[in-house]
Amino acid sequence: MENNTEIIKVVAQILALMIAIIGHEIMHGYIAYKYGDNTAKNAGRLSINPIKHVDLVGTIILPALLFFSHAPFLFGWAKPVPINMREVIENGGYKAAISVSLAGIVYNFSLAIICTIIYSFLGEPTTYMGLFFAYLVLQSLIYNVVLGVFNLYPIPPLDGSHALAYLAASRGWYGIMNFFDSIQRYGMLILLLFIATPLSRYFFAPIGYIVNYLLG
């Protein structure tokens, strides 16, 4: 019975992560589509078919490494949806570009709130299906907060940096635009500095605060 419980939790955990990261990317493409950019739609990337969104490193290798190393939570990303931001800006201006950049984050936080409400009504599960659903909702809450907070940071290539860059462009803040252009090539190194060093406790601290707040 204990083995069955662990299998149920692992499956729910993986499914929750997939829903969080794939939905995040689909929302970028969907909002871009609303502003006249058909790039993601024509590439078939507005589909909920997970195969179309799988990234070898972000969707498979990294989550697997975190799982087998008994990390406190899984993390990953889906293949970025193709977007013609020039088309988006021509149709909706920089406000549209900011909306597209923040679409995935809004999706993640919205889903986290929905999961919070659902979880508050769940009692102690008495069946395997009940356990699966309860754990799926809980893990979805956690992973969507993780992705929402993580992508808010203004570090290239995270969504927060894109949104801030388009805001700067709309205001004529060329110093900020030049700054992001100058650190673009070092973005992944900066992220690794925050993730793989003791700085990670501060980098991810907001996640714990938000999750604890949502769970009461």
CA distance 144 to 109: 6
Q: Residue 154's pLDDT is what?
A: 92
User: Alpha helix locations (H) across the chain?
Assistant: 2-34, 39-42, 62-68, 85-121, 128-152, 159-171, 174-183, 187-195, 200-203, 205-214
Q: Residue 72's pLDDT is what?
A: 66
Retrieve residue 119's tokens.
Answer: 């979880």
**Owning domain of residue 113:** 2-214
CA distance 100 to 92: 10
Torsion region of 93: left, alpha or beta (phi above 0 gives left; psi -120 to 50 gives alpha): left
pLDDT along the chain (216 residues), means of 10: 78 91 95 96 91 84 78 76 95 97 98 96 90 95 94 92 94 88 86 80 89 92
**Which residue in 137, 138, 180 sits closest to 160, CA to CA?**
180
Retrieve residue 14's tokens.
Answer: 């993986």
DSSP letter at 71 equals -
DSSP letter at 79 equals P
Contact (Cβ atoms closer than 8 angstroms) between residue 108 and residue 144:
yes
Query: What is the number of domains present in the chain?
Result: 1
The secondary structure of 107-166, three-state, reads HHHHHHHHHHHHHHHCCCCCCHHHHHHHHHHHHHHHHHHHHHHHHHCCCCCCHHHHHHHH
Contact (Cβ atoms closer than 8 angstroms) between residue 25 and residue 53:
yes
